[in-house]
Amino acid sequence: MKHIELIELIYKHRDLIDDAFKGEKIKHLPSELIDDVAVFQKVAKQYELSDSYTQFANAMLKRVDANYTFGDYNEEIKLLMKRKSDFLISGEKEILQRIKELVRILYKKIEQRDILINARVNDIVNDNELSIELIIKDARDVNERIEELIEAHAENIKVLGKELRGLDEELDEMLVDIGLDMLPFSENIHLYIKRLSDFILRTEKRKLQNKKISSLFNKISKEADYELKALLLSNHQIYMHTVKERKTGLVKHVPSKMELKKTSFLNLLSCTLKIKKTERRAIVDRPYQVSKTSELKAIRLELIQQDALRDKPQDLYSYILGHAELDKFKEDKLDKSYAFKVYLTVVQNNRENIVLMDEKYNNNNIKVAKWI
Amino acid sequence: MDIAKVFETLSEGKIISANSSQHSDIANMLLTDSFFDEVNELVNQIGYRLNKEGGYFYISKKKKLTAQEQQAFLSKNRDLIVAIAFLRHLYPRIDRGSTVSFVDTVVTYGNAKRDDSSIKDKLTYFSWIRNKDDEKGMMEQLFKHLEDRNVIEKVQNSNTDKYKVLDSINYYLSIVDSIETGEE
């Protein structure tokens, strides 16, 4: 088979190979993918992608192999324990020196591992190229690998912190320093697990969300999105008021009938604003007046004086009140008031002919004036 | 920045996101509880309600919507959900804080359409451009709409290609989450 034919073959079965790459089980496989080229291999009656193809794909996609294991350093620990028993038997200084060297190397490896795990976790969390299925699979794999480390890491700390103590003063000092420096690594392992677990949860939620939003779109396009409509309308008070929003305009709404009633509008307004009561002073402005016919009434003072001169009345006020000239005021009941005005005028004008009787008042409580 | 300015912006029907550069001053003030309460009290008196969700603020109407309002309310939400469905189809992991480039989106759309032509349905449903073959034009419209509705904003005013996804995307995603589709 030529190279171009290989590419064509892979392209022909791209969906199948991609499914297998994402970890799905393949039931029916065309024989050309097993016999002609070893893209797949049979493992315990199941077909899975061959290691060589997986390695090729990972290298091309710049992915770290999901099967990459972070070192647990069991071998180093075993060697340290062996060196310890050798030292206890022989007491050789050279063995002690080797132990110190080995502890230093182990610490450096653990530090290096921490950097590597951190980088791997960052790669996964920040990778935006891989498909959502693949990234979840990667995250799960790495999470498992880190979980496996917890126990091994505890064992490392136990050996470095306890088992190797008491052999030599200088070594003890070194172990204390290393023990302190390793504290953040122990914390980090748990942080990485938490970060990845959160990421997996979040990404799976997003995957479900995408499925839902896609299905919702299908319903919207068929105008069958009853659930969306029911949800929005039954809870509209918690959803954004989206009517007629514009860059320049304010939120608008069509007022209800109740709001349009004058009294309820005033109530709403007085709830919102504090209104001060002001005195209302209407300006009286009457530039034109409708003309009315008015009757002018006058008293002929001369006539009454002449009559009084002739009759010489004993009580001037009663005489004036009974005079025919005052009759025109009777209908308005103004006769007494006009009679008094005439009485005063006549008395004033005819002082020499009138005598005012001291302490003598008539029925109307008016001093009696006598004409002489 | 005072309460009047905050009210003016909210009353334009905008969702204010905490991660927005454009409205960062308003968001910062609303994050203060006492100020939030003050604005809420004000809008309450005229029949609205100020809502605070994870990282975004908006006002809603307390009373029943009129028939005319209902129609507009539904179609606005539908439009945005379709626009976000389009983005999520292209970028399944896009979320608040992500950045999205218009040019990349045009390219990614082209690739995605070869694998799954249903993506074009989302674009054509959304757009009211008559020529349904003007896909770039429709996509420009979609980005403009998302920007107008404060779901995305330009990373820099001078750069018309890169956009930041705002916290308000969660408003629409939470609607999607709340729906029982009966297909899960």
Is the Cβ of B23 closer than 8 Å to some Cβ of chain A?
A: no
- Integer distance in angstroms from the first to the last C-alpha of chain A? 167
The fold for domain A74-217 equals Methane Monooxygenase Hydroxylase; Chain G, domain 1 (1.20.58)
- Give chain B positions within 8 Å (CB) of A206: 92-93, 95
pLDDT(A180) > 80: yes
Q: Is residue A252 scored above 60 in pLDDT?
A: no
> CA torsion angle for B41, B44, B49, B54 (degrees, to 10)?
0
The residue written with tokens 């199948």 in the block is A16
10-residue stretch averages of pLDDT, chain B, 184 residues long: 81 86 89 90 84 87 79 84 91 89 90 84 79 84 89 87 92 86 48
Q: Is A237 on the interface with B (CB under 8 A)?
A: yes
> Using a CB cutoff of 8 Å and minimum separation of 24, what contacts does A2-11 make?
A6/A37, A9/A33, A9/A36, A9/A37, A10/A39
Chain B interface includes A240 (CB < 8 A): yes
Residue A223: closest C-alpha in chain B: B78
Q: Which of A243-247, A299-303, B6-10 has the lowest mean pLDDT?
A: A243-247
Q: CA-CA distance, B43 to B8, in Å (whole number)?
A: 11
**Of the partner residues A208, A229, A241, the one whose CB lies closest to the CB of residue B59:** A241
For residue A229, which of B161, B122, B65 has the smallest C-alpha distance? B65
B70 token code pair:
């209902």
Q: Look at residue B169 in the predicted model and tell me its pLDDT.
A: 92
Helical ranges in chain A per DSSP H: 3-12, 14-21, 51-60, 74-90, 93-126, 132-158, 169-221, 226-234, 257-260, 262-272, 301-311, 316-322, 335-349
Q: Sign of the C-alpha dihedral, residues B54, B58, B60, B66? A: negative
B158 in reach of chain A (CB within 8 A): no
CB within 8 Å of chain B, chain A residues 123-142:
128, 131-132, 135
Nearest to B13 among A128, A225, A245 (CB): A245
d(CA B82, CA B117): 16
Evaluate if residue A247 carries a pLDDT over 70: no
Query: Which residue did the predictor score with more confidence, A88 or B115?
Result: A88
- Number of inter-chain CB pairs under 8 A, A vs B: 148
Structure tokens at B4: 């009047």
List chain A residues with CB under 8 Å of B175.
228, 231-232, 239
Q: Is A208 on the interface with B (CB under 8 A)?
A: yes
| For residue A275, pLDDT beyond 70 | no
Q: How far is B121 from chain A (nearest CA, A)?
A: 9
pLDDT given for residue A243 in this prediction: 44
Would an 8 Å CB–CB cutoff place A25 in contact with chain B? no
Contact A114, A188 (CB under 8 A): yes
- pLDDT at position A246 is 46
Going from N- to C-terminal start, the domains of chain A cover 3-60, 74-217, 225-267, 301-371
Choosing among A18, A133, A207, A213, which should be mutated to test the B contact, i.e. which has the most B CBs within 10 A? Answer: A213
A221: nearest CA in chain B?
Answer: B125
Residue B152 confidence (pLDDT): 94
Helix, strand, coil: what percent of chain B each, to 5? 55, 15, 35
In the predicted model, is pLDDT for residue A245 greater than 50? no
The per-residue pLDDT of chain A, averaged, comes to 81
Name every chain A residue with its beta carbon within 8 A of the beta carbon of B184. Answer: 208, 211-212
Greatest distance between any 2 Cα atoms in chain B: 54
CB contact (8 A) between residue B66 and residue A246:
no
Q: Which residues contact A148 (CB under 8 A, 6 or more apart)?
A: A69, A72
Contacts of A135 in chain B (CB under 8 A): 93
Which pLDDT score is estimated for A249?
A: 47
Please report how many Cα atoms fall inside a 13 Å half-sphere around the Cα of residue A327, on the Cβ side: 3
Q: DSSP alpha helices (H): ranges in B46-153? A: 67-90, 102-115, 118-126, 135-148
Confidence band (pLDDT; 50, 70, 90) for A138? confident
Residue A256: predicted pLDDT:
63
Would you call A228 and B72 a contact, using CB atoms and an 8 Å cutoff?
Answer: no
Is B42 within 8 Å of chain A by CB? no
Max mean pLDDT among A32-36, A123-127, A346-350 falls in A346-350
**Which of the two residues, A272 and A205, has the higher pLDDT score?**
A205
Quote the pLDDT of residue A143.
Answer: 86
Which residue of B77, B122, B172 is the best one to mutate when testing the A interface, meaning the one whose CB has the most A CBs within 10 A?
A: B77
> Are the Cβ atoms of A227 and B180 closer than 8 angstroms?
yes
Alpha carbons A240 and A238: distance in angstroms, whole number? 7
pLDDT of residue A167 exceeding 80? yes
Are B45 and A232 inside 8 Å of each other by CB? no
Cα–Cα dist A368/A356, whole Å: 6
Residue of A240, A245, A256, A260 to mutate when probing chain B, most B C-beta within 10 A: A240
Listed range (A7-16, A119-128, A166-175) with the worst mean pLDDT: A119-128
Residue B179 and residue A232: Cβ atoms within 8 Å? no
- Give per-residue pLDDT as tens, A71-83: 778 888 888 888 8
Chain B positions touching A267 (Cβ under 8 A) are none
Mean pLDDT of A137-149: 84
Q: Which residues contact A164 (CB under 8 A, 6 or more apart)?
A: A80, A84, A99, A103, A171, A175
Return d(Cα B92, Cα B84) in angstroms, integer. Answer: 10
Q: Which of A191-200, A220-229, A239-248, A318-327 has the lowest mean pLDDT?
A: A239-248
For residue A251, pLDDT beyond 60: no
In a 10 Å sphere around its CB, with 0-12 CB exposed, 13-18 middle and 19+ buried, how is residue A198 labelled?
exposed
Minimal CA separation from B61 to chain A, in Å: 5
Give the pLDDT confidence score for residue B46 in this predicted structure: 80
